[in-house]
Structure 1
């Protein structure tokens, strides 16, 4: 076996390994993107929940004032 063919075989083995790692990196990137997307939805949902809770707190305060269960802050 000549030195050239040995080098070619090594380069082919290196290329195969890099190809495997490339496929793995693509899968990792896809999964990371999915996680980022999910976290974004969770974050947006938490903001919606906070707004809902603030609205409910205002309504309860209004009801308490009307029923004279709480002194008015106005």
Structure 2
């Protein structure tokens, strides 16, 4: 092959390698962000479950209070 053609091919391959390295770095960053997002969502779901439990306990106590005060229909 002509030396200019070989150099041109090598130049393109180097550019492609650099682009692929940047894409790999971007993918790594996206994975880290997705992991953080999943952890945050799990925390929110856990808090929501806890809040549902608290609300259920409050409803039970309110029903008992209403029964004691004869406020039930």
Unpaired segments ≥5 residues, structure 2: none
Cα shift readout 1:11-30 (whole Å, capped 9, x = no counterpart): 11100011011111111111
Mapped pair 1:21 → 2:23: yes
Unpaired segments ≥5 residues, structure 1: none
TM alignment of 1:24-35, pairs within 5 A: 24-35=26-37
Tell me the distance in 2 between the aligned counterparts of 1:37 and 1:15: 33
User: If the length of structure 1 is used for normalisation, what is the TM-score?
Assistant: 0.85
SS at structure 2 position matched to 1:42: helix
Tell me the distance in 1 between the aligned counterparts of 2:69 and 2:12: 85
Runs of 4+ in 1 over 4 A off after TM superposition: none
Mapped pair 1:68 → 2:63: no
Larger relative contact order (C-alpha < 8 A, sep ≥ 6)?
1
User: If the length of structure 2 is used for normalisation, what is the TM-score?
Assistant: 0.86
